[in-house]
Amino acid sequence: GVAELGPYRHFMQKEIFEQPRAISDTLQGLESITPDLFGAQASAVLHKADSVLILACGTSYYAGLTAKYWLESIAKIPVEVEIASEYRYRDSVPSENKLVVTISQSGETADTLAALRHARELGMAHSLTICNVATSAMVRECELAYITRAGVEIGVASTKAFTTQLTALFLLTLAIAKVRGRLAPEQEAEHMKLLRHLPVAVSAVLALEPQIIAWAEEFSRHDDALFLGRGIHYPIALEGALKLKEISYIHAEAYPAGELKHGPLALVTDKMPVVTIAPNDDLLEKLKSNMQEVRARGGQLYVFADSDTKIVSEEGIHVIRMPENYGLLSPILHVIPLQLLAYHTALVRGTDVDKPRNLAKSVTVE
């Protein structure tokens, strides 16, 4: 009802703006990094794990893709991320000490549950879920769990569930790093500081809404859009494209920027908006040359640039400045303007934002 929406027009918008609260609730009670955060038997399980297999669908799958970068670079543990509906039906090579991690907002997605059971049948006995519903089938069936505290998510397009999943996956990364002797106390303190400040950092990004509204008008006039990211921000580009196609019905594709010249550059004309995620990281110079490849074909760049990147607006390059560079947790900040861009573009197009055509909130049948 109207009352529940408060000042917002849709649940999706409300849920986007709830993210500082959702993240802070997900971190509630956190004092230090310990395997116990994931359950009583977690210490033994995390010590035994020599690799990780992440299984999920949709937006939750993109959270998994993002976590792979953290787990491999911080915890130095090999990670595979698989779409649940693919994994459950293909021949794969099991390994006894692989920790199976499912990610699910609802905890009821049929393919993710089936993929978990499939992994167990193959001999992988240890499982952990990152889930938003404590009473769900997923939580019952997994040995270990971390419950995100996003609260009920109503909009079909997932927003606060995604950023709280990422928050929990970062905690998992730190817990695994710790048991593997890869987390020095001063590093742990630094990561904890970054985590604690996250709700405030997210609020600062939400304040960019008026600038994004100004872009949405232009986006609503196109039938296609391209999203570029590199490294850990490539899954964020995928999520941005998914949000846009789900609710605005604009065809959107995401590419790792280095792959441009292997195909998508053929699509670039002066009519193609190219959303670019530009954090100030080690890949920035590479990304800038990819941006030039787009500009040389007349493509219109819409760049979310960290304030210290020195990327400035000029002919064909539109820039919205992100308030601060957020290091390892930068993906959590960079997805927020993409959620807002999809939302406001859909609003201009007049689609049914909270209930996009043909889609369901929770896919409990195959």
- Which of 104, 167, 300, 330 touches ligand G6P by CB under 6 A? 104
Q: Does 64 bind ligand G6P (CB under 6 A)?
A: no
Q: How far is the CB of 26 from ligand G6P (least distance, A)?
A: 15
Which amino acid is residue 321, in one-letter code? R
Least distance to ligand G6P, CB of residue 150, Å: 11
Closest Cα to residue 334, out of 235, 259, 245?
235
Min dist CB 359 to ligand G6P, Å, is 5
Cβ proximity to ligand G6P, 251 vs 261, nearer residue: 251
362 binds ligand G6P (CB under 6 A): yes
Rounded to a whole number of angstroms, the minimum distance from the CB of residue 193 to ligand G6P is: 29
Q: Does 26 bind ligand G6P (CB under 6 A)?
A: no
Q: How far is the CB of 152 from ligand G6P (least distance, A)?
A: 12
Query: How many other C-beta atoms can be found within 10 angstroms of the C-beta atom of residue 140?
Result: 11
Q: Of 20, 58, 64, 264, which lies in the binding site for ligand G6P, with binding defined by CB under 6 A? A: 58
Which of 12, 156, 201, 347 is in the footprint of ligand G6P by CB under 6 A? Answer: 156
| Residues 217, 220: Cα–Cα separation, whole Å | 5
Helix, strand or coil, per DSSP, at residue 210: helix
Quickly tell me which residue has 């927003």 as its tokens. Answer: 159
Binds ligand G6P (CB under 6 A): choice among 26, 66, 109, 351: 109
Provide the residue count of the chain: 366
Q: Does 248 bind ligand G6P (CB under 6 A)?
A: no
Question: Any contact of residue 136 with ligand G6P (CB under 6 A)?
Answer: no
Phi-psi region of 165 (alpha: psi -120 to 50; beta: other; left: phi over 0): alpha
Nearer to ligand G6P, 173 or 339 (CB): 339
Q: How far is residue 100's CA from residue 129's CA, in Å, rounded to a whole number?
A: 8
Question: Smallest gap, in angstroms, from Cβ of residue 333 to ligand G6P?
Answer: 20
Q: Which two tokens stand for residue 353?
A: 């934002």
Among 24, 105, 167, 300, binds ligand G6P (CB under 6 A): 105
Told to check if 129 binds ligand G6P by CB under 6 A, we report no
User: Read out DSSP for 303-328?
Assistant: EEEEGGG----BTTEEEEEES---GG
- 194 touches 326 (CB < 8 A): yes
Structure tokens at 345: 């573009």
Check residue 112 for interaction with ligand G6P (CB under 6 A).
Answer: yes
**In the beta sheet, which residues pair with residue 136?**
none
261 is catalytic: no
Distance CA 213, CA 217 (A): 7
Which residues lie across from 319 on neighbouring strands?
Answer: 303
Q: Which is nearer to ligand G6P, 57 or 74 (CB)?
A: 57
The tokens describing 248, both together, are 């605005």
Catalytic residues: 361
Please give the residue ranges that form the binding site for ligand G6P (CB under 6 A).
Answer: 57-60, 104-106, 109, 112, 156, 158, 359, 361-363
